[in-house]
């Protein structure tokens, strides 16, 4: 089977193909990512990469849905063992996907691509060729060309560039929109959101550094007597220094041993003064915490004392009522007439704490022959 050399100029003209191609954006992103990795690994400005295309074919419609890279030698020979392993792995994940073609990078199709296609035809029936130009400037259309290989009556390969349609699902659309918003083209003057955020932080830090240097130069000029003192500005500088943390390199390098307050007071270094102030702050916080704990304990003791006094007052009130009345007449319901009067001793709590019927039952059990009204 021969390769036709007379169609090299007419291959880039889009013609009516025998198939309708649906290309998913994930395939274009995978090809671009493969090219970028090879560029960084080989330190080359325009490396050429190769890979296989996976998808589905339903009649005259070919849908390219996934891809995987190929290992190709410098002589452009495909590693058959690597190809078989990746194809079997892809079949485990995408059981209904078939090999529908291969991809590469560069501009229009050339003679080397045609020879590589002939090699792929010996491995499998590759139908489509997708070629991406990563160096093309960002325009209205993707720098992607899709070619279809057909065999004429003379058993020669013919490569026709066919049109394609981007087919994307909901997940792919969201991912592509996110990538378009966050990242920008390398040739574009626009920067990403992350770069703008970092740049704003850098500018803020630089501005703060310049203003601190200005304050430092102003104070140095005052010490030398070059400028008259402005007490309002000096008070503002003093307030600013009190709000800023004191960062010392000596404290970052090593942790000094704990010193007593007298030792810290006698020493004149800034580190010792800082430690003395830190100890004072810690002691103040500790005293505040102890005061709050004592207040909580005092509140709890007061509430416990009040509750105990209320319980004591209630018990004494009941006892005084029981002792003030020696005996009281209690009327019990009679059988047919009025209730008979009976006397119960309130000094016996086991009688007054129970119902009247229970009192009668106990009395009858003690004297069965006694009649009660």
Domain ranges of the chain: 20-167, 172-184+194-249
| Cα 36 to Cα 270: distance, rounded to the nearest angstrom | 54
pLDDT surpassing 50 at residue 341: no
For residue 344, what pLDDT band results from cuts at 50, 70 and 90?
very low
pLDDT in tens, 53-72: 999 888 888 889 889 999 88
Q: Please state whether beta strands 20-23 and 61-69 pair in parallel, antiparallel, or not at all (unpaired).
A: parallel
Structure tokens at 65: 């849905």
Confidence of residue 365 (pLDDT cuts 50, 70, 90): low
Longest distance between any two alpha carbons in the chain, whole Å: 140
Q: What is the mean pLDDT of residues 230-237?
A: 86
Candidates 224, 108, 109, 209; CA nearest to 157 is: 109
CATH number of 20-167: 3.40.140.10
Which pLDDT score is estimated for 331? 44
Is 188 or 226 the better-scoring residue by pLDDT?
A: 226
pLDDT > 80? residue 4: no
Q: For residue 149, how many other CB atoms are within 10 A of its CB? A: 20
Q: Are strands 128-132 and 98-105 parallel, antiparallel or unpaired?
A: parallel
> Percent of the chain scored above 90 by pLDDT?
6
Mean local confidence (pLDDT), 202-225: 89
- Torsions phi, psi for 140 (to 5 deg): -75, -30
Q: How confident is the model at residue 361 (pLDDT cuts 50, 70, 90)?
A: low
The conformation of residue 12, written as its DSSP 8-state character, comes to T
Instruction: Band the pLDDT of 171: cuts 50, 70, 90.
Output: confident
Q: 19 phi and psi, to 5 degrees?
A: -130, 160
Give the separation between CA 106 and CA 111, rounded to whole angstroms.
13
Q: Which among 59-73, 228-242, 341-355 has the top mean pLDDT? A: 59-73
Measure the CA–CA gap between 135 and 159, rounded to whole angstroms.
23
CA angle 26-28-186, nearest 5°? 115
Which stretches within 225-331 are classed as H helix? 231-243, 249-253, 261-266, 270-324
pLDDT tens digit string along 7-35?
A: 444 456 676 667 888 999 889 889 998 99
Q: Which ranges of the chain would DSSP assign to H, the alpha helix?
A: 25-42, 80-93, 111-123, 170-182, 193-224, 231-243, 249-253, 261-266, 270-324, 349-352, 356-366
Residue 158, Ramachandran bin (φ over 0: left; ψ between -120 and 50: alpha; else beta): beta
């Amino acid at each position: 089977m021969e390769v036709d050399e007379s169609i090299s100029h007419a291959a880039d003209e889009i013609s009516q193909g025998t198939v309708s191609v649906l290309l998913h954006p994930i395939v274009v992103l995978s090809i671009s990512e493969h090219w970028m990795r090879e560029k960084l690994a080989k330190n080359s400005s325009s490396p050429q990469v190769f890979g296989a295309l996976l998808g589905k074919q339903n009649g005259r419609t070919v849908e390219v849905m996934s891809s995987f890279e190929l290992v190709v030698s410098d002589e452009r020979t495909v590693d058959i063992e690597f190809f078989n392993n990746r194809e079997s792995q892809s079949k485990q994940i995408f059981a209904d996907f078939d090999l529908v073609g291969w991809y590469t990078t560069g501009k229009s199709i050339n003679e080397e691509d045609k020879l590589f296609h002939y090699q792929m035809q010996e491995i499998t029936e590759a139908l489509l060729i997708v070629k991406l130009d990563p160096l093309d400037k960002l325009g209205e259309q993707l720098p992607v060309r899709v070619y279809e290989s057909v065999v004429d009556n003379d058993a020669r390969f013919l490569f026709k560039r066919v049109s394609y349609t981007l087919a994307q699902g909901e997940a792919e659309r969201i991912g592509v929109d996110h990538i378009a918003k966050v990242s920008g083209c390398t040739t574009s003057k626009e920067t990403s959101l992350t770069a703008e955020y970092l740049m704003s932080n850098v500018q803020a830090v630089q501005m703060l550094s310049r203003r601190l240097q200005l304050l430092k130069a102003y104070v140095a000029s005052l010490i030398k007597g070059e400028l008259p003192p402005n007490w309002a500005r000096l008070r503002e500088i003093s307030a600013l220094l009190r709000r800023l943390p004191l960062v010392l390199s000596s404290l970052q390098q090593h942790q000094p041993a704990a010193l007593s307050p007298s030792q810290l007071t006698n020493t004149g270094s800034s580190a010792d003064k800082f430690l003395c102030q830190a100890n004072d702050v810690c002691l103040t916080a500790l005293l505040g915490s102890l005061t709050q704990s004592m207040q909580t304990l005092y509140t709890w003791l007061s509430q416990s004392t009040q509750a105990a006094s209320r319980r004591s007052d209630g018990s004494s009130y009941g006892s005084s009522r029981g002792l003030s009345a020696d005996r009281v007449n209690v009327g019990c319901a009679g059988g047919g007439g009025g209730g008979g009067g009976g006397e119960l001793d309130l000094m016996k709590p086991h009688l007054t704490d129970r119902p009247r019927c229970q009192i009668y039952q106990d009395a009858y059990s003690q004297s069965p022959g006694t009649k009660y009204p």
